Structure 1
Amino acid sequence: MAEKDQQHEEHRLIAERRRKLGEWRNSGAAFPNDFGRTHLAADLQRNYAEHDAEALQAAAIPVQIAGRLILKRVMGKASFATLRDMSGDIQLFVRRDDLPEGVYQSFKGWDAGDIVGATGLLMRTQTGELSVHCDSLRLLTKSLRPLPDKYHGLEDTEVRYRQRYLDLMTNPTVREAFYTRSHIVRYIREYFHAKGYLEVETPMMQPIPGGATARPFVTHHNALERDLYLRVAPELYLKRLLVGGFEKVYEINRNFRNEGVSTRHNPEFTMLEFYEAYSDYRVAMDLTEDLLRGLARDVLGTESITYQGESIDFGSDFARVTVAEAVVAQNPELKGQLSSPEALRLRLDALGVPTQPHWGVGKLLLEIFEKTAEGELRQPTFVTDYPTEVSPLARPRDDDPSVTERFELIVAGREIANGFSELNDAEDQARRFQQQAEEKAAGDAEAMHYDADYIRALEYGMPPAVGEGIGIDRLVMLLTDAPSIRDVLLFPAMRPQAADKAD
């Protein structure tokens, strides 16, 4: 059907539904709010899975259910319908002679998408399907727009993201992915609670955007008469809590970065960040490995998962390699030349990666790693010894101050976590902030600001500690086999449509 014909048909169906709504309003019964539900579809399907027709008839189990009318098959004096609630689907068996006068006639005029309440006894049909034999039916909400095709569901990816309510309504697998996301977050909270961590909340609007090298969003507070930034990370506030005496803290938070949008990036995203005093990055790596292994087992029932056709094993020990080792493995010609800025620039030139004159060896090395090595790490791998130049908040290694006690966890070629032993030397941190400020002045929009209050906090003394951030969205992508971050965000950021721009 041509697009214009489809639009015409949709307008006709909407007009017809509005006519029905008008009749309903005139009856004085429109949009009631006094129907109480006693059961969910999935609970009924699970609890009575073993009951045959005779057992159900003998038990005479009364139920009250409510949900969206997904499918209706009218057959004379008896009909079948499918009702969908938050848990799943259940069938209704509707017979004219079992209902109050006029209800069956009204039911025949109801549309797919209408929200309905039903009461009756559980039964099994001749085909063995668990059903509710209705003795009462009520229309609770009139749907004015037709649902997508019942056999194919909502398939247009763009529409699915923009109208997530319609996607959830018609695609049960999508609903399941977001139930899984909730399960993941709940497991993480329980895990850290069991280890004695305190869950805290830190500001989303900050006078200085700190804790990550990223471009922030800017807003203005009228009463305070000042610009504020949506946080790019909660790190500096969580470490202030270490100074204050909360020695094990975590936050599951929303962060905002004014950067590109892709299958892995959304301007706002969810992070877990945790900090523990008197521990270092080795402890965090062990904890992360234990957390993810237990998470996969609890959520999926297995430590070996499949992501986009590739087997990912969380059950085996995670590999550990340094940045330098990973670079040489993919760029053997650089062996013995990792300290040469000229050699690194030549390699980046060959890769087509533009460089800046002020970049040192550490930044050049990281660019090569991200371009050539990161994507090759498929199984869970801790990459360690990140250059100090690109790790402004991490503690340098005692035996080699050019690198830090920092790691990133890479799975399926993408960063899942970033952690390090914290820099608690106030003077060293001040020098690094100053260097970041100079880089910002030179044009690096992602360089950090100088945070004088954080330096003041460090001057009171922060215990040695480790901190880490884990990307919840990317973790959910892995555990739900989602190819795009938009598949695991209920309302992802989208470019405006033509109609939006016109408005």
Structure 2
Amino acid sequence: MTTSVRDEARRLYGTFLKENADERDLVLLKADLLRAVRDWLHATGYREVPTPVLCQDRESAPIPQFATRHPLTGQGFHLKHSAEEHLRRLIISIDRVYDLGPAIRAEHEDADHAIEFTMLQTAARDVTLADGMGMVAHLIQASVQTAFATLTNPGANFTTIYQVPVDETIAEALGTTSAPEGAELVAAARDWMAAHSMPSHGGAWEVMEAFVKHGVETAVTAPTLLHSFPYELRHNSRIDEKTGRAQRFSLIIDGVEICDGGVKLRTAADYRPMVDANIALREALHGVPADDGPLDFYADVDRDPADVFTFGLGLERLLAAVAGRSVADVLSFPFH
């Protein structure tokens, strides 16, 4: 049974499960998947550290965050978009940590996007991009095998998780023999967006993000780790001095990003230019007032700088990919 994003039958969620045995079984499989993910992480040396949902500082991404105020004191908080920055702060004293819990994002809800969902966020010290991608593939395969008793499922076959340099998929999308670089890449992305009747007049970051989503990811069907991104798509990942490529990866299944991560910037001095640019960008895009950035985060990462590999995995997106359903279908209490 496949439901729509706002299927009223799911408003009475307990009754819906009582009357639809297959949907109840999907809830139980989701519980099994969560347990399998935790078991793999603990067996691999990770320790679970829940992070705050109410955050005093905005996160550094160029996005709007939900905000709220303490009803008694009036103190303002931002609702957790990602646990990455909190976990990065812990890496100075704990080698491998993770948070598995709610993430709350200002999204337009559809089949693949939800306002509140379950997010796995991790951080590991002294892990390379290659080793980190191997860990992600192993986690996915082990967890799916444990929860579903097979790697060949209605939504995807996880027997092989491919690794492909993102330049190959960019060149394929553009119809060129190799991916352009720098300003030529941004210009080509603008042309592609315009040719496909999509907005192409925003800033370079907006255009590149949209191009990758609509031009690159949609062509990827089998589980694939795209890696080694161009500088313009580096986000907060370190640049490999030998290749000039960002040490970033993204796991795509049937055109949807399931997981994203990489080897992150080391010091506050590395982060500040990126964060300052993001602060200006979210002010321009979303009208969010500028601030001083995550000062506590800066202080902690400078206490003992290290190469840190992080990744975030949407559990509902993974479950949807396995079951051949939509994210909307696998949300618990979709009407909250």
> Is the contact between residue 212 and residue 448 of structure 1 (CA under 8 Å) also seen in structure 2?
no
Structure 2: gaps spanning 5 or more residues: none
Match of 1:459 in 2: 302
Match of 1:404 in 2: 246
Match of 1:96 in 2: none
Greater Cα radius of gyration, structure 1 or 2 = 1
Match of 1:170 in 2: 19
Which of the numbers 274, 282, 288 marks the counterpart of 1:432?
A: 274
Match of 1:239 in 2: 88
> Is the contact between residue 385 and residue 405 of structure 1 (CA under 8 Å) also seen in structure 2?
yes
Match of 2:134 in 1: 286
1:374 and 2:223 correspond: no
Which of the numbers 264, 268, 286 marks the counterpart of 2:116?
A: 268
Secondary structure, aligned partner of 1:298: helix
Aligned residues: 332
Which of the numbers 297, 301, 314 marks the counterpart of 2:158?
A: 314
Secondary structure, aligned partner of 1:418: strand
1:468 and 2:311 correspond: yes
Name the CA distance, whole Å, in 2 between partners of 1:366 and 1:439. 13
Match of 1:393 in 2: 236
Q: Tell me: CA distance 1:156–1:263, structure 2 relative to 1, closer, same or farther (3 Å).
A: closer
> Is the contact between residue 334 and residue 343 of structure 1 (CA under 8 Å) also seen in structure 2?
no
Name the CA distance, whole Å, in 2 between partners of 1:336 and 1:184. 37
> Is the contact between residue 213 and residue 446 of structure 1 (CA under 8 Å) also seen in structure 2?
no
Name the CA distance, whole Å, in 2 between partners of 1:391 and 1:206. 25
Q: What is the TM-score normalised by the length of structure 2?
A: 0.90
Secondary structure, aligned partner of 1:420: strand
* Residue 288 of structure 1, CA deviation: 1.3
Match of 2:168 in 1: 325
Name the CA distance, whole Å, in 1 between partners of 2:329 and 2:281. 36
* Residue 277 of structure 1, CA deviation: 0.6
Match of 1:480 in 2: 323
Q: 331-340 vs 215-224, which deviates more?
A: 331-340
> Is the contact between residue 216 and residue 229 of structure 1 (CA under 8 Å) also seen in structure 2?
yes
1:218 and 2:61 correspond: no
Structure 1: gaps spanning 5 or more residues: 1-151, 495-503
Say which structure, 1 or 2, has more relative contact order (CA 8 Å, 6+ apart): 2
* Residue 333 of structure 1, CA deviation: 4.4
Which of the numbers 348, 360, 384 marks the counterpart of 2:193?
A: 348
Q: 207-216 vs 462-471, which deviates more?
A: 207-216
User: CA offsets, 1:429-466, max 9 Å, x none?
Assistant: 11111111222232356999621221111221232110
Q: Tell me: CA distance 1:460–1:468, structure 2 relative to 1, closer, same or farther (3 Å).
A: same
Q: Tell me: CA distance 1:448–1:184, structure 2 relative to 1, closer, same or farther (3 Å).
A: farther
Q: Tell me: CA distance 1:156–1:248, structure 2 relative to 1, closer, same or farther (3 Å).
A: closer
Name the CA distance, whole Å, in 1 between partners of 2:63 and 2:214. 19
Secondary structure, aligned partner of 2:240: coil
Name the CA distance, whole Å, in 1 between partners of 2:210 and 2:272. 25
Name the CA distance, whole Å, in 2 between partners of 1:300 and 1:446. 43
Q: Tell me: CA distance 1:446–1:338, structure 2 relative to 1, closer, same or farther (3 Å).
A: farther
1:300 and 2:148 correspond: yes
Q: 2:97 corresponds to which letter in structure 1?
A: V
Name the CA distance, whole Å, in 2 between partners of 1:366 and 1:325. 17
Name the CA distance, whole Å, in 1 between partners of 2:289 and 2:254. 28
1:161 and 2:10 correspond: yes
Name the CA distance, whole Å, in 1 between partners of 2:177 and 2:287. 30
Name the CA distance, whole Å, in 2 between partners of 1:193 and 1:343. 44
* Residue 371 of structure 1, CA deviation: 1.3
Q: 2:157 corresponds to which letter in structure 1?
A: D
> Is the contact between residue 391 and residue 404 of structure 1 (CA under 8 Å) also seen in structure 2?
yes
Superposition misfits of 4+ residues, deviation over 6 angstroms: 154-157, 446-449
Identity level (%): 22
Secondary structure, aligned partner of 1:253: strand
Secondary structure, aligned partner of 1:415: strand
For the aligned residues, what is the CA RMSD?
A: 2.6
